[in-house]
Structure 1
Amino acid sequence: MKSAKIVRYFPLIPRLQRFFKTKKSAEEMIWHAKHRNVDGLLRHPADGEAWKAFDSQYFFYLPYWEYNLLPHNLDVMHIEKNICDNFIGTLLDLEKSKDNLQARQDLVDIGIKNELHPHILEDGSYSLPRAPFTMSKKDKVMFCEVLKNLKFPKGYASNISRCVNVADCKIMGLKSHDCHILIEDILPIALRSCAPSDEVMCIVVEISHFLKVICAKVIFPMS
């Protein structure tokens, strides 16, 4: 019987040695060790203290680790997409909403936020109290209309309005770059007049500012 798939093991050391056979690839292999700026600023995730502590405990004992060109790589765009989808889904009470019965029951198990604990009705079903981040129908429509009427400079973002359904108060089909633009620049402005509470607005603004800072080319740790 002929096998459907063959998995071959390639030893690591010979593969690494091949990178050093040419001058160009050899220089790239040692760039991370010789050419990085060490000035106290965060130019790379590996410059953070948490990364250094993690490296020293788990990775630095590997003989080839210091020559890795890119030892750490966080996909910020997908992280922002997850945050943006969760924000919008929860505010508009969509399928991706994180405010559901299971989440409320977790609050009961932890013993916090008593005002948000679900109420058991006579028929055995549950009723979820209104949360501070719950938007009214009017606020949802206003928020969706703002996104529907957005106009961007050419090349700045895609046509986000195509993803907005004002009648049903739904936003679907956002791409990673759409979420990148929304979470860093648009959400704090779009929610300014229709945010369900000041607390929610502060959270959105702070997270938006944080993501914008860590996506900068250079990060100043002291600030």
Structure 2
Amino acid sequence: MYPDYAKKPRNVRLGLCTNDFAPHGQYGRTYSCWPIIITPYNLPPSMCMSSKYMFLTMVIPGLSNPKHLIDVYLEPLIEELLQLWHHGRKACYFDWHRQFLPEHHPYRRNKKAFTKNRIENKVARPRLTGNQPLDRVANISLAVEMPLSLPDGYSSDHKWTKKTIFWDLSYWSTLLIQHNLDVMHIEKNVFDSIFNTIMDIKGKIKDNMNAHRNLKIIWNRPELELDERRPNIMPKVVYTLVKEQKRRVCEWIRGLKFPDGYASNLPRCVDMTELRMHGMKSHDWHVFMQKLIQIAFREMLPEHVWSALTKVSLLLQRICSTTVDVHKFHELENSVSIIMCNLEKIFPPAFIDSIEHLIVHLSYEARVGGPV
């Protein structure tokens, strides 16, 4: 019925199901609950019907079957599905960071390394301070007063869903940082993206077939394009390792030794069968991202790929330093957008998402709020 819509490779097909169950196994009672579950039907049946890929959207409580009243409970879900149908799009942060560059930076005029034939003229939005965020949410209800539907203009004009109760605090508008980012959590996710992509770990890598299908139309990246003669075979890329290289990296990690308390037992996290890491703690990601990643891949990756990753590592080191030099942090704020643009020149568009984008804001928070 919608052939043009069906041809889009990034579409997500959703299945909706519901059934009742008795809480705590008390089947003799009249009380029951009705869970509403959504699952992506893009996956094979064996996967989409497993608990890992089933998402609980709501639970309808009641004494019995909600019958026709189920439509009342489904109103918020249907509204979101309508937004996805009419306004849905791929949330991609690729080619998003050139707007943070200085006005006359050459990357802004580069039509080949980023979006094809596009010059970046936009300037990043200024950071909201003081009462400016309050002005944006002044007419939106508090969470306790939130109606079933989302605020007017949501998705098309703004992304505000509520007015936070923290605005009741008289000093909230004077805070320079009203919501602080978790640096170690960001480090963990950035490390996962980089390590899993370089090691080409199945099921964890952000680089897949769909990410390459529309490259020829939007980006000038011939080395990442699919071969028309073999459309189902992924191209060999410079940022992933072959099996022997992956084995050498894992063996190197297995041989690492640290002072007591510096990190956990990293060698135990190495899986030599699947050539991957598992069971790492948050501080392990912190150590690996800041100290080890530039050593682990020094001889494995091309110079420009290794250099881009090293700059990310050094950036995080300086943000987490024990002392703050305000002038150097100003330099970091200016250089972080260049670092992100260099990553965009190397990795596929799907690699840069909201987690990688958060790196842009860490230097400002470290300068204002102090080191981590």
Indicate whether the TM-score tops 0.5.
Answer: yes
User: How far 1:201 moved relative to its partner?
Assistant: 0.8
Structure 2 CA distance for partners of 1:110 and 1:222, relative to 1, 3 Å: farther
User: How far 1:163 moved relative to its partner?
Assistant: 1.3
Letter in 1 for 2:184: M
Larger relative contact order (CA 8 Å, sep ≥ 6): 1
Structure 2 CA distance for partners of 1:215 and 1:107, relative to 1, 3 Å: farther
Structure 2 CA distance for partners of 1:88 and 1:222, relative to 1, 3 Å: same
Counterpart CA distance in 2 for 1:109 and 1:218 is 47
Structure 2 CA distance for partners of 1:217 and 1:51, relative to 1, 3 Å: farther
Counterpart CA distance in 1 for 2:225 and 2:272 is 31
Identify the match of residue 151 of structure 1 among 237, 257, 276: 257
Counterpart CA distance in 2 for 1:70 and 1:90 is 33
Identify the match of residue 58 of structure 1 among 111, 125, 133: 133
Q: Secondary structure at the match of 2:192?
A: helix
1:185 aligns with 2:291: yes
The number of residue pairs the alignment matches comes to 176
Contact map agreement 1:141 1:167 (CA 8 A) in 2 = no
Q: Which runs of 5+ in 2 are unaligned?
A: 1-29, 34-58, 60-123, 139-166, 329-372
User: How far 1:133 moved relative to its partner?
Assistant: 0.7
Q: How does 1:60-209 map to 2 (within 5 A)?
A: 63-66=170-173, 71-94=178-201, 95-121=203-229, 125-193=231-299, 195-209=300-314
Counterpart CA distance in 1 for 2:226 and 2:279 is 31
1:33-76: per-residue Cα shift (whole Å, max 9, x none)? xxxxxxxxxxxxxxxxx998311432599543146697231111
Contact map agreement 1:148 1:166 (CA 8 A) in 2 = no
What's the counterpart of residue 220 of structure 1? 325
* TM-score after normalising by structure 2: 0.42
User: How far 1:127 moved relative to its partner?
Assistant: 1.7
Q: Which runs of 5+ in 1 are unaligned?
A: 6-49
Q: Please, what is the CA RMSD of the aligned residues?
A: 3.0
Structure 2 CA distance for partners of 1:64 and 1:206, relative to 1, 3 Å: same
User: How far 1:208 moved relative to its partner?
Assistant: 0.3
Contact map agreement 2:129 2:173 (CA 8 A) in 1 = no
Contact map agreement 1:91 1:133 (CA 8 A) in 2 = yes
